[in-house]
Amino acid sequence: MLRIRRFEEELHRLVSTGAIGGTTHLYAGQEAIAVGVSASLRPDDLVTSTHRGHGHLLAKGARCDLALAEFAGKAAGYCRGKGGSQHTAVPAIGHMGSNGITGGGLPIAAGLALAQQQLGTGRVVVAYLGDGAAATGNFHESLNLAALWRLPVVFVLEHNGFAMSTPVAAHSACAHYTDWAARYRGMATARCDGNDLGAVMAQAAPLLDRARRGEGPALLECTTWRLFGHSKSDPCAYRDKADDAAWRARDPLTRWRAAAQLDDQVVAAVQARVDAEIAEAVQFALAAPAGDASVAFGDLALTPVPAAAAPCRIDTGKETNFTEALRETLRGELLRDERVLLLGEDLGVYGGAFGVSRGLLAEFGPRRVRETPISENSFTGLAVGAASAGLRPVVELMFSDFVTCCMDALVNHAAKLRYMYAGQLRVPLTMRLPIGRRHGYGATHSQSLEAWFLHVPGLTVVCPSTVEDAVGLLRTAIRTDDPVLFLEPKLLYPARGVMPAPDHLVPIGSARVVREGNDVTLFSYGQCVPVCVAAAADLADDGIRAGVVDLRSLSPFDLDTTTAVLRRSGRGLVVHEGSSVGGVGDALIGALLPRTFGWLHAPLSKVAGAHTPVPSSPMLEELVMPSPAAVATAARHLVRDY
């Protein structure tokens, strides 16, 4: 506890004097919780932490010098300076990451626990959180999932009375958080004085043992008090001075010294040892060099994908449809790799929203094919945690529109963990998203939102237009060690094609030339590829040779193929269903223009969905979406008027 206290005091000094930049959230005053819980953890047990997580890190066994170097932004730090005070992970000691999003680590912890359960490791997971996080949807959704699946996770709630500056009475409508947690079937609960080390150890040990035995999750609520403000800029004006004085009189170090009957000589020896360690850590951190460009731009490259044949009941070359091909690909990967599992809503009798997963639950059982509650953000976050602990989850959303509920899990966590933690964690997560219109589904079930994710470094986005590419891209997505958004065009589910070989893979970042043509090139993906092929046939009747390129990969684009084709034709038209404002077309045009400007005979253009919500009326839907006629008209203009 003294080690944590002195570390925090010195960090406060360094940040306050400008020796270390950025922000920090100090743990001082809450030491008994991290130490009391860690006393019952095995070295290989796992923890997830919060923005106020330095105590959790040090109690789990981290070195002060490497931690302080990380907070100072130095390359010698645990995450090479890329994580900093709020985002540090040391998987080698079981610390799976602190998290700057309030409540963001809770579903990740549930996913880590799911992986321990699936893999039979015997490990337990501790998820630290503050009282502010208990007001988030992630709190309730994660507790619900953990209770439903009896996951080996203990949620440790550090109740320090304030969510930043908001008192608990103003943000939580409960007497105790254990009252909420106890309502979840199979969830054990306990409360204790978080400033009493003996009390924390006495309550934590049986809950951790229970979780380790497979008897289910628990929530331990520990009341405590932070000695500093929320962050370095917080003077704590909202806290009552009498309350602060009363809590400081209950300092966990002072109380344990008395309870353990430590004499002055013992305390002095401990203080000397700690002071020496902290002094060496400060000297090391301040003297260490900062990272260079290789650090700043590292941990982003895609990983190689293993080539291996997967079991398949559909013969190579046999005609099938998109739905059957996707189902058989999922089945083959489930058979090929025990680490693959499928998560989503209504996967059983209903077979998923469009029937792709039909029959898989019956064949593989609820351990490998897990039907989830309607809690998209949390079960996606759970999949992030499961992936970072060695599983290869495939998450199915009923409609891609529902990805709006998953943005925290995807954008803040799946996309960033590998980079923030300097490659110490990987997130082999595949997310299947049915995209686009389907004749009357309306504004909240017909969107093409893929352009949002092109803006997020760390996410890969692919979209097939043929049966062969659907199989090859899905296999590649599941086998890659990074998060992939696999877009499934709804209008193409009944489309037919031939089943490729059992070892067929399509590389990420590889476009496909569908049709040659040197007068104009049509670039598209998904269900607009057939639209472009039809438009090209129409243009051929006018003597215009239109080429068609299926992008297949939207992030990253295949700029080598698209550049070479565009340089030959000198005219380019991007076609997609997503909004014409800020869409994939804008991103591709922006990427191609510097590479092709000297070869162009006409402006790069686009035909896209109108910048309007998709109407429910099928007749109105047709008016706002690209058509072969509209594409052909735009292409004629580029050829004839320039």
Q: What pLDDT was estimated at residue 169? A: 86
Confidence of residue 473 (pLDDT cuts 50, 70, 90): very high
Q: 82-96, 188-202, 303-317, 457-471: which has the minimum mean pLDDT?
A: 303-317
Q: What pLDDT was estimated at residue 247? A: 92
Give the architecture (CATH level 2) of 2-294: 3-Layer(aba) Sandwich (3.40)
Confidence of residue 177 (pLDDT cuts 50, 70, 90): very high
* Inter-residue contact 383 to 429 (CB < 8 Å): yes
* Residue 100: closest CA among 51, 137, 135: 51
pLDDT (tens digit per residue) in 487-544:
999 999 999 999 999 999 999 999 999 999 999 999 999 999 999 999 999 999 999 9
Domains 2-294 and 319-498 equal at CATH topology level: yes
Q: Is the pLDDT of residue 342 over 90?
A: yes
Active site residue 488: no
Average pLDDT in the 620-632 region?
A: 96
pLDDT (tens digit per residue) in 91-121:
999 999 999 999 999 999 999 999 999 999 9
* Inter-residue contact 496 to 321 (CB < 8 Å): yes
Q: Is the pLDDT of residue 353 over 90?
A: no
Active site residue 445: yes
* Inter-residue contact 426 to 374 (CB < 8 Å): no
Peptide bond preceding 603: is omega within 30 degrees of 0, i.e. cis? no
Q: What pLDDT was estimated at residue 193? A: 97
> What mean pLDDT, rounded, does the chain reach?
96
* Inter-residue contact 527 to 493 (CB < 8 Å): no
* Inter-residue contact 448 to 611 (CB < 8 Å): no
The interaxial angle of helices 467-479 and 322-336, nearest 10 deg, is: 30
The backbone torsions φ and ψ at residue 457, rounded to the nearest 5 degrees and listed phi first, read: -65, 140
Which sequence spans correspond to the domains of the chain?
A: 2-294, 319-498, 513-640
The CATH H-level (homologous superfamily) assignment of domain 319-498 is: Thiamin diphosphate (ThDP)-binding fold, Pyr/PP domains (3.40.50.970)
Q: What pLDDT was estimated at residue 439? A: 81
Which ranges constitute the DSSP H helices of 433-547? 451-454, 467-479, 529-540
* Residue 384: closest CA among 114, 124, 623: 114
Out of 159, 445, 504, 576, the active site residue is 445
- Pull the structure tokens for residue 601: 């005979």
Q: Is the pLDDT of residue 161 over 90?
A: no
Average pLDDT in the 613-639 region?
A: 95
Among 3.30.300.30, 3.30.1320.10, 3.40.50.1000, 3.40.50.920, name the CATH number for the domain at 513-640: 3.40.50.920
Q: Is the pLDDT of residue 235 over 90?
A: no
* β-bridge mates for residue 320, sequence order: 497
Q: What pLDDT was estimated at residue 599? A: 97
Q: What pLDDT was estimated at residue 303? A: 85
* Inter-residue contact 121 to 93 (CB < 8 Å): no
Out of 376, 396, 488, 577, the active site residue is 376
Q: What pLDDT was estimated at residue 186? A: 94
Q: Which residue has the tokens 């309030």?
A: 102
> pLDDT exceeding 90 applies to what percent of the chain?
94
Contacts of 339 (CB under 8 A, 6+ apart): 390, 391, 392
Q: What pLDDT was estimated at residue 233? A: 83
pLDDT (tens digit per residue) in 130-147:
999 999 999 999 999 999
Q: Is the pLDDT of residue 170 over 90?
A: no
Confidence of residue 359 (pLDDT cuts 50, 70, 90): very high
Confidence of residue 45 (pLDDT cuts 50, 70, 90): very high
Distance between CA 32 and CA 4 in Å, rounded? 10
Q: 158-162, 571-575, 576-580, 634-638: which has the minimum mean pLDDT?
A: 158-162
pLDDT (tens digit per residue) in 378-404:
999 999 999 999 999 999 999 999 999
Parallel, antiparallel, or unpaired for β 319-321 and 496-498? antiparallel
Q: What pLDDT was estimated at residue 438? A: 84
pLDDT (tens digit per residue) in 248-303:
999 999 999 999 999 999 999 999 999 999 999 999 999 999 999 999 999 999 88
